[in-house]
Structure 1
Amino acid sequence: MTARDNPIAVMWENFGPYHHDRARALAGAGHRVHAIQLFSRSTDYDWEQAEEVSYPLVTLARGEEAIGTLALARRLVAAVRQSGARDCLFCHYEKPAVLLAATILAMRGVRVFTMVDSKGDDYARRPWREALKRLWLKPYAGAIAGSERSRDYLAGLGLPRARSVTGYDTVDIARIRQQGDAATEPFFVDRPFVIAARLVPKKNIAHALHALARARSLGVERRLRILGDGPLRRDLENEAARLGIAEHVVFEGHCSSAQVSVAMREGLALLLPSLSEQFGLVVNEALANGLPVIVSRNAGAVDLLVDDGSNGIVIDPQDEGALVDAMRAVDRETRWQAMHVAARNSAPRGDVQQFVQGVETLLALPRRS
């Protein structure tokens, strides 16, 4: 019997397109995947729900069902045992129910690997909380991480680098490109900047509005399309009006994955000036569609996907001048064409096959005695 003959349980809070990309890739590589989602809806994201999947998908709690930590942990353990899996991939190691389930399963000889994209530089860390995390990671046999900085962070919490790999934050490049094929091919002068993000403080979108106003005053006659919604929308609309650029900024609200791909195919560059960004899967999507990226150095994606000056430009998210300079750089057609080609050529580094390879590396690790 090979490793691919053994069932693998894969758990996230809720499955959206990215999660199905990874589970589908594992199944396509011959692994017997059993998908588990804690809840029928995400607490943070309005994911599109898959109509049909080729692997079992179990939901532990539906709708507005109130469920306590112990009950959720019991359901998670029961779902893994029912699947017959001896290896599990769990996200959300910080959730008490997941910690409890991982501990019980590890005690029963099941290997549990965590999926993590947190980094030490995401925000100011509290020493007492970091000390607790060292205990939270004890049940895990290893990890698949989003970036090298994620691996460094895990190593600092006591998980040996020999038991961690990258490849977690990936998407199905073929799916993203197929969605983008519905796009028109605008003239270069008509391509807008694109933001695809929740409208929340850490995304630093007001900073992008200020940079756009300044860039336009310097001759960059571009629009900005903002795909996404959130609590800051009204404030951002008011700020665009105050800056005198309201007619050049389009707030498009919540968009489907397909709509995002089309917008990216028609865009000039992705703007991701986040103050905090564990990874930034939108970078994977942009590169898949040949869209150069202007991305915060705080995003984990820059570790693996962004070649500064080639397929994108890495910026300090608090330096408005750096963002303006990057916007002016991609406004030159010859430079943009080179970056467009480099973006598309580098996209496979963010493909789900990297996830499959990472998982298979973890599965090949010797079991602890």
Structure 2
Amino acid sequence: MRFLYIATGSQATVYGAAPLAAAVQNAGHEILMAGNEPLMRFAEAIEVPAVSVMPEPIRHFMKNGDSGNAPSPFRDLREEESLIFGRAFARMASAELDALLDLVEARPPDLVVGGSMSYAAGLLASRIKVPYVRHAEYLQIPMAEIDPIAEEGLRPDLERLGLAALPDPDLFIDVSPPSLRPAGAPDAQPMRWIPRNPQRRLQPWMYTRPEGRPRVLITSGTHFRMLPADSMRHLVDRLTRTGAEVLIAAPDRAAEELGGDLGDVRVGWIPLDVVAPTCDLMVHHAGAATAMTVMTAGVPQLIVPPNFHTKAIAQALTDFGAALTVTPEREGTDQDLVEAMAAGCREILSTPAYAQRAQALAEEITTLPTPAEVVRTLETLAAP
């Protein structure tokens, strides 16, 4: 069988799709991922066959006017973010639809899978009359709020295709552990989330725990820089004074900004899937792939979320007892934020209940069907 996966958004959507794509291949089927050009290098890095159907990134389709007076496409307010994302992903779906139609004419699929915000997937599947699967790649995506906005933005395309509304999926796959699914969430096929990220040759410190001291891993952030370089140094200082070993996962540019004056702190590329299980605490901004990786490792989290979606992730984990949330806008200056983060880290490291709840969540994730098991459901759905 041939499966077409349509990815949108950031590299997190590619990483979230990768385990299912690999399971499709391992079951003997063909998989092709379609996305915009910026996603291609991430698909290549994790060896998913991929084709670019448009050059523009998702930010190209985000317009400041979508949220009234908002100066940025990433506002903190729930309604504004729903408007921005709904309209942006609708524009993106409209822009890529013709290219996708050309693609399936050359390579017709038996089933189309779309990420949670891949609205073109449903339109395409409806047009070529094959089953459509919607895949929520990670936790707490507010689809119920964004879908109506996207539907309105896609009204001309819906009319062109003879559709009155966005097509309902024939199957909805959700990787959220049951304890964290929001009230009123639609019925779904659960699936275990499996970390997937680019790899390099490992070093022993990456897969072994330090002796006699806790390990804290901080992510600097890719789209959102969690702290300026000076503030990050202050946070590291606060943590190392408590005896913790500190690691900082950072892209090359951020690693250069932090410089080499952090003592024995390791800064740079760190394989989160390998290192997370050796940690006692992860500090990050609730990037979707990061949060899910930490959840599967059973590690408590200190989260500094910059927008509504990341706040939803942080709130779910905090309510469960597996995390603490520090919101930047409530802390005032960067120095105040650093002090609040350091205090939160000390609380988590000194309170076993956080680790216990994090481990309970990880154990729940292991009970969910694997991607390989879900592929059998897709085979049945696509069978003639």
**TM bucket by the smaller chain?**
0.5 to 0.7
1:185 aligns with 2:212: no
Contact (CA 8 Å) 2:217, 2:247: kept in 1 or not?
A: yes
Residue 263 of structure 1 is matched in structure 2 by 275
Identity of aligned residues (%): 13
Residue 132 of structure 1 is matched in structure 2 by 153
Q: Specify which structure has the higher proportion of helix.
A: 2
**CA apart distance, 1:225:** 1.7
- Equivalences for 1:237-252 in 2 at 5 Å? 237=258, 246-247=261-262, 250=265, 252=267
Cα distance in 1, alignment partners of residues 291 and 380 from structure 2: 30
TM-score, scaled relative to structure 2: 0.58
1:77 aligns with 2:104: yes
- Aligned mate of 2:268, from 237, 253, 261: 253
Residue 205 of structure 1 is matched in structure 2 by 227
Closer, same or farther in 2 for the Cα pair 1:180/1:290, shift >3 Å?
A: farther
Cα distance in 1, alignment partners of residues 175 and 31 from structure 2: 20
Q: Which range moves more in the overlay, 347-356 or 313-322?
A: 347-356
Q: Residue 369 of structure 2 aligns to a residue in which SS? A: helix
**CA apart distance, 1:299:** 5.1
Residue 194 of structure 1 is matched in structure 2 by 217
- Aligned mate of 2:173, from 141, 144, 160: 144
- Equivalences for 1:274-293 in 2 at 5 Å? 274=286, 277=287, 280-293=288-301
Amino acid across the alignment from 2:166: K
Closer, same or farther in 2 for the Cα pair 1:23/1:59, shift >3 Å?
A: closer
1:161 aligns with 2:186: yes
Contact (CA 8 Å) 1:211, 1:324: kept in 2 or not?
A: no
**CA apart distance, 1:347:** 1.9
Contact (CA 8 Å) 1:192, 1:267: kept in 2 or not?
A: yes
**CA apart distance, 1:214:** 7.9
RMSD (Å) for aligned C-alpha atoms? 5.3
Cα distance in 1, alignment partners of residues 255 and 203 from structure 2: 26
Contact (CA 8 Å) 2:3, 2:30: kept in 1 or not?
A: yes
1:171 aligns with 2:183: no
Deviations 1:154-173 (A, max 9, x none): x8xxxx934x55548x2159
1:36 aligns with 2:36: no
Cα distance in 2, alignment partners of residues 27 and 299 from structure 1: 35
Deviations 1:303-361 (A, max 9, x none): 7766744xx323133243553332112333xx45x655654453244457365677778
Closer, same or farther in 2 for the Cα pair 1:270/1:79, shift >3 Å?
A: farther
Q: Structure 1: which 5+ residue stretches go unaligned?
A: 1-5, 52-56
Closer, same or farther in 2 for the Cα pair 1:130/1:16, shift >3 Å?
A: closer
Deviations 1:244-275 (A, max 9, x none): xx5258463334x3xx344334433111234x
Q: Residue 167 of structure 2 aligns to a residue in which SS? A: coil
Amino acid across the alignment from 1:60: V
Deviations 1:170-193 (A, max 9, x none): 2159xx9xx89962231232x332
1:222 aligns with 2:232: no
Q: Residue 282 of structure 2 aligns to a residue in which SS? A: strand
Contact (CA 8 Å) 1:273, 1:315: kept in 2 or not?
A: no
Q: Which range moves more in the overlay, 294-303 or 281-290?
A: 294-303
Amino acid across the alignment from 1:226: I
Deviations 1:212-235 (A, max 9, x none): 268459x53435321131655555
**CA apart distance, 1:88:** 2.1
Cα distance in 2, alignment partners of residues 361 and 299 from structure 1: 33
1:106 aligns with 2:126: yes
Contact (CA 8 Å) 1:195, 1:272: kept in 2 or not?
A: yes
- Aligned mate of 1:330, from 343, 348, 354: 348
Amino acid across the alignment from 2:217: V
Residue 353 of structure 1 is matched in structure 2 by 369
TM-score, scaled relative to structure 1: 0.60
Deviations 1:97-140 (A, max 9, x none): x62x642431332121233457349xx98x96674268887134
Contact (CA 8 Å) 1:226, 1:253: kept in 2 or not?
A: yes
Amino acid across the alignment from 1:186: P
